[in-house]
Amino acid sequence: MAVKRINIISNQPWTLTNSKQLPNWIAVQPTAGGISPGPDGAIVNVTVSQANTSTDARSVTLTFQLTGDTSKSATVRV
């Protein structure tokens, strides 16, 4: 199991828009947060919970979006 952290700095509440479509080998917590200012912001843990036992590459794109302004988003490819 591998865990990585993403820091989200935001002046508005935010959400992970594709949390319900994530494959079963990855978990993201939390999937939403409030205003997170400061140098560290909110910490989001991304956990790969299953080893890739095939020769196929796997990846997922996480999309974080501001709740108050849906035109603003950021993506992270895992």
Residue 7, both tokens: 């820091």
- pLDDT in the model for residue 29: 95
Q: How confident is the model at residue 50 (pLDDT cuts 50, 70, 90)?
A: confident
- Banded pLDDT at 22 (limits 50, 70, 90): very high
The beta strand positions in 1-78, using DSSP E, are 2-8, 14-16, 26-29, 32-33, 42-48, 61-66, 73-77
- For residue 21, the 8-state DSSP code is G
pTM of the predicted model as reported, rounded to 2 decimal places: 0.82
Percentage with pLDDT > 90 across the chain: 54
Specify which residues 8 forms β-bridges with.
42
